[in-house]
Amino acid sequence: MVMERADEAKSLAIRKILLQKIVYLSRKIAAGASGIKKTVVTQYRPGLDEIEVDRTLEAQIGSPVLDYENIYCHEKIKQKNSYVLMLDVSNSMHQEKIMVGAIATGVFASKLRHDFYGVLTFSREASFLKHVREPNDLVTLMDKMLDIKSGGATNIREALLKGLVELNESKTMSKTGIIVTDGWSTVGGDPVEVAVKYDRLHVLGISFGIGGSDPKTNSQMAKKGKGKYMYIRKYDDLPLAITKILTNK
């Protein structure tokens, strides 16, 4: 509101402060390890202490003494994955909700800074703020979030279709969609039949106003998408909900 009433110079200064605060809060909430790790078997080196017994015994056959070169261990390594966040902005979201949505998106981006991720917003149509293969620039992404204009019909199906195409173009083994919506799809048809095509689709169900949410549609999308359904009672809880989804808590 202050930005809208201020002159251009003051508005730009306020926007800069907002961006700094959003980036700071996003990184603070997202602090900590994230991502999926896979286990591989490799030759022993200092720091590895979980021995792969069968592989070690096989390598040791014929040797009278145990040799370090014959010891194999389990090693957990970070596996790069692809994600798309789909944020419903179709209903009457006040500016404070846009701010919370920006922080939640910032948490998503900060958690996945070593992975590939895309972000799209949707109402009647869906559009990307960041494609999966574009560089990870948190400040630029948050700046785009501040320009979001909410309102209009809700086309969940189109959002899921665009998110699916984006993920299918990536070369990673694991591809995950996360959609934030009240579940009321007013145009575009049934979104559930698209959800089934995802490797994994998590659904964060949230109410934008007096209309509540549609838990039936949201839970069905998550079930068909082999993901989690999480109902969020307060919009302010969205950033922490994103963290929980990404850390499997």
Same domain assignment for residues 129 and 61: no
Written as six digits, the tokens of 22 are 């959003």
Q: What is the CATH number of the domain that holds 115?
A: 3.40.50.410
Which of the residue ranges 6-15, 36-45, 120-129, 222-231 would you say has the lowest mean pLDDT?
Answer: 6-15
Domain check: are 218 and 109 in the same one? yes
Which pLDDT value is given to residue 148?
Answer: 86
pLDDT of residue 225: 97
Q: What is the mean pLDDT of residues 203-215?
A: 84
* pLDDT of 63 above 90: no
The dihedrals phi and psi of 246, each to the nearest 5 degrees, come to -75, -20
Q: Within a domain: residue 17?
A: no
DSSP 51: B
- Per-residue confidence (pLDDT) for residue 248, from 0 to 100: 76
pLDDT tens-digit map of 22-38: 999 999 988 875 555 66
The last residue of a domain, from among 24, 55, 78: 78
pLDDT of res. 12: 82
Average pLDDT, the chain: 88
What is the residue type of 161?
Answer: L
Residue 75 confidence (pLDDT): 87
Report the residue count for the chain: 249
How far apart (Å, rounded) are the C-alpha atoms in residues 173 and 159? 22
**Residue 15 pLDDT:** 82
Q: Please indicate, yes or no, if residue 145 is contained in any of the structural domains.
A: yes
Same domain, 91 and 106: yes
Is the residue at 12 inside a domain?
Answer: no
Q: Which residues form the domain of 58?
A: 36-78
Q: Is residue 8 part of a domain?
A: no
97, 182 contact by CB (below 8 A): no
- What is the domain count for the chain? 2
- Residue 66: closest CA among 50, 77, 53, 83: 53
Q: What is the DSSP secondary structure assignment for residue 131, as one 8-state letter?
A: -
pLDDT at residue 1 in the model:
55
In this structure, are residues 3 and 11 in contact, taking their beta carbons and an 8 Å threshold? yes
d(CA 166, CA 201): 14
pLDDT in tens, 144-183: 998 888 888 899 999 999 999 999 999 888 899 999 999 9
Q: Which of 7-16, 77-86, 109-118 has the lowest mean pLDDT?
A: 7-16
- The percentage of residues in the chain with a pLDDT greater than 90, rounded to a whole number, is 58
| C-beta of residue 178 within 8 angstroms of C-beta of residue 86 | yes
Share of the chain above pLDDT 70, in %: 91
Closest by CA position to 83, among listed 63, 61, 101, 107: 107
